[in-house]
Structure 1
Amino acid sequence: MTLAPGILIAAPRSGSGKTTVTLGLQRAFVRRGLRVRGLKSGPDYIDPAFHAAATGAPSFNLDSFAMPADLIRGYAAYAAGASDLVIAEGSMGLFDGVRAEVGQTGASADVAALTDWPVVLVIDVSGQAQSAAAVALGCARFDPRITVAGVILNKVASARHERLVRDGMARIGLPVFGALGKETGLILPERHLGLVQAGETADLDGRLDRLADAVTASVDLDAVLAAARPTLPAETRAAPGVLPPGERIAIARDEAFSFVYPHLEAAWREGGATLVPFSPLADEAPPEGCDACWLPGGYPELHTGRLAAAERFRAGMRRFAETRPVHGECGGYMVLGETLTGADGVEVPMLGLLPLRTSFAQRRMNLGYRIARLREPSALGPAGAELVGHEFHYATVLSEPAGALALAEVTDAEGAVQAGTGHRAGNVSGTFFHVVARRR
């Protein structure tokens, strides 16, 4: 069976406008009547929610460092089998990843090679003209596994500027599919982890339609569609390996708890689990009919007062944890702790189920892959299981007792031992990293 074609929207570096172009293309093709699926290369957990809003269909992450090749091919084939077009979005620069074997670096180029999707480069041409062609040529020739089909120019200053850049691209024989002005990137608001969450973005549908209007007016959609290639079929789709922690999983879901990988939830459902959402900000306790509870990441630092005052939530979580497993990731982990200090410098009590105090008043970026070998059984799996996750936050740990029970032994992608391994206390566990997949 021939699967739907796909393309990968990538860039030479971060901040070039990949997300803007990706969302504009996704919504523009949906408005043409195509069934479009989005996918995200790398561990970013914000962009897939925007893909889902733009296309009306779920978007999964594809990560060549954290996932085996057959899982990536399987998810790509799954998306292609349920759509007319797959528009995937890269992360960082096209070849940016960790030091690892070729094909397993986490770079967007690995995903393009595994799926056989051509790359459309988004190039921020501000401050340059013909020189942009040299950058594009380098991207096109750097990795023989991939094909760069063409470019979309971003932040074009004037008609003359566009002509000069196009002249450079003509010299290297690389098609220019379109050119966007500087104002297009202002349509979606940003915050410290990237875009403001999809669920919080005011008039999101209207913003996506305006992006689609700008892309439709400035990009040759027919040329982009013609550049897409059929997705390679996959014989099997390996499971992510993170088993559902229960048959009915209470999962916090509101503005404070929103970062959970869609592929993980899908795998739990395929494993027979039912996910039951509840809202801590609405002072809801985890439903009593559930046998596990999951607190995802998000922005609890923006809602410390409401969380501290949510007595039904706090009491319900404590009752739940007495008899059933509870796990928190990143923001959820901090809420499981004793206190959380917001950006305003005010320290407020949290659930007190894990022995740590955290703060956003003293900001420090923590970023990178995490490989964790579980010391203790928990909602993440049995003792000895090896998981791959990703950490991205600005929180600092103010204190944790010296004798606290560490959940796992954790290293980064290059094998360096990492502090802040997470904790386990009774039925409760938590980590700063978000689990992507299980290695063994």
Structure 2
Amino acid sequence: MGWKDLMKNVTDKATSVAETAQAKFEEQKQLSAIKKEEQNKKMEEMNERVTEYEQELLQNILSGFSGAPCIEVEDNILDFTKDYFEKLLLPANSVSASKITMYPYSDKIQKKAQKALREYDDTETPVFQFEGNKGEFILMTPTKLYIAVAFPENQTFVANVAVDLQQVSQLGFVSTEEGYQVVCNGVELFSADNVSEFDRITIEEYVRRLEEKDFEITETQIDEVIKKKIGDNILRIIRQYVFDDELLIYFAWGMDNITAKDFVVCTNKQILMLDREMLGATKNVKQFYYEDITSMSTDQKTSGWLEFALTAAFKLCNITIYVSGAQEKIQTLYTYEAERVIRVYQEYRRSIKQDERNARQVVVQQSAPAEDDVFTKLEKLNKLKEAGILTEEEFDEKKAELLAQM
């Protein structure tokens, strides 16, 4: 075979291989297009079924409406929710394990809602959100209740509906063997397993208060809720350092040590810092009465880049307490926990100052009648002198005695 024939043979084979490859590519392309078309069709069918399920779910919820809304939102809903978050939800709460997010910390609720809810009105401020399993949740704004639930046929799809609060006659959180069942107008929405006792107490109490319009949170109520959350073992330790008439106003866990459980307690009289071993033995206790604290501040000072990165990422900080020239630290709290400790201190410190001012005013007011009484007697003496009953010398003598009482 000559050179030309050899080259032609090679070229023909190369052409044949290229044509075969091109044919297979075209075939694969067509198969991919068919497969994609089938997938799109299935997706459209699934979306249609999800839409039908959403309509059915919404209809069931509306059908269960009794005619009277259980929550009639007042103008002060945001102020009350902020107050509730600080005084009843935040104390002794396990932030990382909580399924509740509440105003004023609504940023992450907004982001999740914008992504998961088609009908979400992002001009409204989220009031609270409660999460279930597999991305399910309920979200309440001042006008609506948004519901996101897993589609029963395929739980990778999420169905969501929006219900006007005026058409919600029941919003319940029911304990079951599997966990916690969220119910609206008698319709079971989703389950939430591994719900902490913290969340169970706070979400049920929050909804109850909204339903009953019970917006006043007293120190005694705060004390009762904190005691339920922290349990008897921690309470026994605290009772060693507080008087019987003291009320627990705030409690936060420290996170600076893996082998020890630190915590800080604010009562209506003092701040108590405890460094506790995991087995329950207290090894370090510090007490600061509010009238003895000169100031408090937060800081994010860290000893290395890794610790600094963790502190910044999880929004952690320390509290420094200044007492008679000395400094003490409460180690590593979440920033909003540390800020709450400082606000509690400021509130009671201000109250103490006000009580001192009131006491001084009472003393001044009590002394005023004595002066008024002296002037009254002087007037009477003067009238007696003018009437000739007292001589000038007798008048001067009595006058000197009265003036000496001032």
Per the TM superposition, whether the score is higher than 0.5 is no
TM-score bracket relative to the smaller structure: under 0.3
Larger radius of gyration: 2
TM-score by length of 2: 0.25
TM-score w.r.t. the length of structure 1 is: 0.24
- The structure carrying a bigger helix percent of its residues is 2
Higher relative contact order, chain-length normalized (CA < 8 Å, sep 6+): 1
